[in-house]
Amino acid sequence: MTSLTVAQHALEIPRSGIRDVFDRADKVPDAISLCVGEPQDTAAPHIEQAACRAIYDGRTKYTNVLGVDDFRKAVHDYTLEVKGLDYDPDREIEAVDGATIGLFLALRTVVDPGSEVIIPSPFFTSYEADVLMCGATPVTVALKPENGMRLNAADIEAAVTSKTRAIIINSPGNPTGAVTSAQELGRIAEVCLRHGIWAISDEVYHPFVFEDGMEIAPSIASMPHMHDHTIVVDSLSKTFAMTGWRIGYILAPHDVIEVTGKLAEHMHSSVNSITQYAAVAALDGPRGHIRSMRREYARKRQIVIDELSGCSALRLMKPNGAFYAFVDIRPTGMGSQTFSRRLLSERHVAVVPGEAFGKEGAGFVRLSYAGDADELEEGVRRLRRFADDARDPSRSHAAAQDIEITA
């Protein structure tokens, strides 16, 4: 009998570290999870109705691999109005099944085996795996706590070599919640232009910014000459609370879209037609839901800040975007894996250890404030007490009793 094996290259792709925490949290039925990276809401009713209409009207066939005309037109109009970016709907826009596949298609299109891709780290877990699946080398550049985990052009330029093909930009960032300023993105754009490097800009959190005077996170594609050097990857998952619908888009120069489209034909043929029509309703429709989610995130972000900012056992970097806080737990003396495991088993709160987002995340944990506000408040309170107790173990008996009362 022959024993069949799985391909070595596939075995070598790292598993997402987030799944470990989910698996462990599932075994603690009353755990408060501060892990989830998705909106608590579901899509607005007019979006659901548009999907139902598409089904009843029989608009359920394969579509153009780049997406139906209405979808690409809606992406064009939304992107122009919201981000001030102008992409030709016939040649420069492609529908994809979420940013996850968009990122892979983008990298697969511009990265050759053996080349290098710069990834500011800590990073969204798919980036490294995507680069490895292209046979390329991920080169991480540490985001610095003293710079609020924002991107820094000089650090990025120091990592450029003759093999560098692309840099992945993610602002607002997951897991850090950091938003990089337009000025710094301008400097990063100059690095890209100087060295002939693609910017792959993951903008899935673009409306969720909490900096004074900032309505929308700036895009590197809006910098001079960057239209032709950038592949924007965006989706409706977070913005329109449509994570399970699987719909996103790539914005890029025509030469790139021609190739991403060719690859996509072999990968998915076309994106779910019903979802595309629902997305048209989302992109063309009222924006009240986005505004209300943003207000809610701002309120929940404040809960995290109020609870953690006075805590000497933790250091909170004020998150300015997305719905994550990245917390420095080094003053507790614990590593982030231990911190996360013990917090779950002793206080029933799940957070993601920073290493799940690259080795540069060591010493931090990520918490998401996308979920229920009351659970968040209780979870963050327990997190704080746990950290305080770790610094001063004499407090821990009283704290454990508190949990029993409030759990």
Ligand X SMILES: Cc1ncc(COP(=O)(O)O)c(C=O)c1O
Contact segment (CB under 6 A) with ligand X among 79-87, 98-106, 348-356, 371-379 equals: 98-106
Instruction: Provide the token pair at 151.
Output: 């991107």
Q: Which is nearer to ligand X, 304 or 311 (by Cβ)?
A: 304
Q: Which of 100, 140, 270, 368 binds ligand X (CB under 6 A)?
A: 100
Burial class (CB in 10 A: 0-12, 13-18, 19+), 397: exposed
Can residue 202 be called a binding residue for ligand X (CB under 6 A)? yes
Can residue 120 be called a binding residue for ligand X (CB under 6 A)? no
Q: Which of 177, 248, 354, 363 binds ligand X (CB under 6 A)?
A: 248
Can residue 332 be called a binding residue for ligand X (CB under 6 A)? no
Q: Which is nearer to ligand X, 121 or 237 (by Cβ)?
A: 237
Residue numbers 134-193 binding ligand X by CB under 6 A: 170, 174
Count residues near ligand X (CB under 6 A). 13
Can residue 283 be called a binding residue for ligand X (CB under 6 A)? no
Token match 């506000």: residue?
A: 373
> From the CB of 98, what's the least distance to ligand X, in Å?
3
Contact segment (CB under 6 A) with ligand X among 26-34, 93-101, 142-150, 383-391 equals: 93-101
> From the CB of 196, what's the least distance to ligand X, in Å?
25
Can residue 220 be called a binding residue for ligand X (CB under 6 A)? no
Token match 């989706």: residue?
A: 235
Q: Which of 171, 235, 270, 320 binds ligand X (CB under 6 A)?
A: 235
Please say whether the dihedral angle defined by the alpha carbons of residues 212, 213, 219 and 224, taken in this order, is positive or negative: negative
> From the CB of 276, what's the least distance to ligand X, in Å?
14
> From the CB of 109, what's the least distance to ligand X, in Å?
17
How many CB atoms are closer than 10 A to CB 147?
Answer: 15
Burial class (CB in 10 A: 0-12, 13-18, 19+), 46: middle
Burial class (CB in 10 A: 0-12, 13-18, 19+), 405: exposed
On the CB side of 87, CA atoms within 13 Å amount to 34
Can residue 323 be called a binding residue for ligand X (CB under 6 A)? no
Contact segment (CB under 6 A) with ligand X among 21-29, 94-102, 114-122, 338-346 equals: 94-102
Q: Which of 89, 98, 207, 354 binds ligand X (CB under 6 A)?
A: 98
The rounded Cα 107 to chain-centroid distance in angstroms is: 16
Contact segment (CB under 6 A) with ligand X among 56-64, 65-73, 95-103, 265-273 equals: 95-103
Can residue 18 be called a binding residue for ligand X (CB under 6 A)? no
| Contact map string, positions 31 to 50, toward ligand X, x by CB under 6 A | ------x-------------
The amino acid that residue 405 corresponds to is I
Q: Which of 222, 230, 237, 260 binds ligand X (CB under 6 A)?
A: 237
Binding site for ligand X (CB under 6 A): 37, 98-100, 124, 170, 174, 202, 204, 235, 237, 243, 248
